[in-house]
Amino acid sequence: MTATVIPIGLGTPTGTVTFVVAGGPTLTGTLVGGTATVTTSAPSVGLHTVTATYNGNAFFSPSSGSTLLIVFQASTTTTVTSSPDPSVFGQPVTFTAHVAPVAPGAGTPTGTVTFVIGGGGGGTFTAPLSGGTATVTTSSLTVGTHPVTATYNGNANFSASSGTDTQTVQGSAATTTTVTSSPDPSVFGQPVTFTAHVAPVPPAAGTPTGTVTFVISGGPTLTAPLVGGTATVTTSALSVGTHTVTATYSGGPGFTPSTGTDTQTVNQASTTTTVTSSPDPSVVGQPVTFTATVAPVPPGAGTPTGTVTFVIGGPGGGTLTGTLSGGTASVTTS
């Protein structure tokens, strides 16, 4: 703002001029050759009355002049970028919008930016500007190309603007499958739980869905759904020995199949044998039945099979063998 002080008479006025900007600052400039100039970038958007008052000196009296100052919103530009680009399915992607004033406008825009992300898993997201930058992050985008529009919503001093970009999400993410068993080792008849954990290979992220098939050598083939990336099956059908377990993830939306292996050792279960006789007491020549009951010791389970050998001491005794049926074997002697 420039004020020129013109004398009514001869000479060149000296001294100072005070500029009062309505709704803005008050500034003072020094006359040089009858002219005083001040500069400010503080006035807000709108219409401002500017009054310049010459403060006079010993030879010249004070005087004032006024004008109108119109301040418009500064135009802006909005640029939007994404990282990483391309990404893989399930990987978090960050969209960043930079909003800057168009010269001669200046300053740092404030307010919000609205991101509209097209395609599957996209949507509308709003974030505040901080230092002229706004960011949003999502990991829900499906495989394919996604158009992105970032719109700065403007404020009292800066006009709205928009920028566009595209984000590419590449095909299904690789996975790893690990399988464990518990307890290991186990004993015959004891329930064993096999657990498969399926996870995406970084930088991919997310939770795989689908099913896992457990193939147990010398045992059953079992299938279970993934819940939270984990599938479990339980069986007590394993025979004594070492079993190889292969867990195969079937793949799912955005995730490729994978396989993991483990081994399970099954030992013999301990048993208890109890024997009873009937009748007891008996008389000479009376048939007597000896009964043996064989049961597994927990955590072993099942029904033992095979034979039981009875050794009966004393006169008329001997060694007799019975076959287990339903866990029980009997012999009779008179």
CATH number at residue 251: 2.60.40.10
Both 89 and 157 in a single domain? yes
Where does a domain end: 26, 44, 71? 71
Q: Which of 267, 300, 320 is the last residue of a domain?
A: 267
Same domain assignment for residues 17 and 31: yes
Q: Do residue 153 and residue 221 come from a single domain? A: no
pLDDT tens per residue across span 201-240:
887 878 899 999 999 999 999 999 999 999 999 999 999 9
What is the distance between the alpha carbons of residues 48 and 22, in angstroms, rounded to a whole number?
5
184 plus 156 within the same structural domain = no
**Nearest alpha-carbon partner for 76 in 116, 113, 128:** 113
In a shared domain, residues 16 and 49:
yes
Structure confidence at residue 113 as a pLDDT band (50, 70, 90): very high
Residue 74 has pLDDT above 90, yes or no: yes
| pLDDT given for residue 206 in this prediction | 81
Which of 105, 99, 106 lies closest to 127, judged by CA?
A: 99
- Average pLDDT of span 128-155: 96
Q: Give the structural domain span for 11.
A: 2-71
Q: State whether 209 and 248 are in the same domain.
A: yes
- Where do runs of H (alpha helix) occur along the chain? none
In the 3-class helix/strand/coil scheme, how is 199-266 assigned residue by residue? EECCCCCCCCCCEEEEEECCCCEEEEECECCEEEEEECCCCCEEEEEEEEECCECCECCEEEEEEEEE
Give per-residue pLDDT as tens, 98-111. Answer: 999 999 999 999 99
Residues 22 and 99 in one domain: no
Q: Count CB atoms within 10 A of the CB of residue 260.
A: 18
CB 175 within 8 A of CB 257: yes
- Quick one: pLDDT band at residue 283, thresholds 50, 70, 90? very high
Examine the domain organization and report whether 131 and 186 are in the same domain.
no
Query: Which run of H or E residues covers position 93?
Result: strand 93-101
Q: Which of 320, 247, 254 is nearest to 289 (CA)?
A: 320
Question: Using an 8 Å Cβ cutoff, are 77 and 127 in contact?
Answer: no
226: which 2 tokens?
Answer: 């993934």
The last residue of a domain, from among 28, 50, 71: 71
> What is the 8-class DSSP label of residue 69?
E
Q: Are residues 256 and 287 in the same domain?
A: no
CA-CA-CA-CA torsion sign (139, 141, 145, 151): negative
**pLDDT interval class at 172 (50, 70, 90):** confident
What is the domain-level CATH number for residue 127? 2.60.40.1930
Q: How does pLDDT run across 38-48, given as a tens digit for each residue?
A: 999 888 899 99
Cβ proximity of 141 and 55 under 8 Å:
no
> Do 54 and 131 share a structural domain?
no
Domain count within the chain: 4
Q: What is the mean pLDDT of the chain?
A: 95
At residue 38's C-alpha, the angle toward residues 36 and 41, to 5°, is: 160
What is d(CA 194, CA 245) in angstroms, rounded to the nearest whole number? 9
Residue 54: count other Cβ atoms within 10 Å of its Cβ: 23
Euclidean distance between CA atoms 292 and 333, whole angstroms: 14
- Each as own residue / partner, the long-range contacts of residues 128-137 (CB below 8 Å, 24 or more positions apart, any chain) are 129/99, 132/98, 132/99, 132/100, 132/108, 133/96, 133/97, 133/98, 133/99, 134/96, 134/97, 134/99, 135/94, 135/95, 135/96, 135/97, 136/94, 136/95, 137/92, 137/93, 137/94, 137/95
Q: Which of 301, 297, 299, 300 is nearest to 273 (CA)?
A: 297
Same domain, 87 and 165: yes
Are 265 and 245 in contact, with CB atoms under 8 Å apart? no
Task: Report the pLDDT value the prediction gives residue 42, as an integer from 0 to 100.
Answer: 86
Query: What is the pLDDT at residue 203?
Result: 78
pTM of the predicted structure, to 2 decimals: 0.60
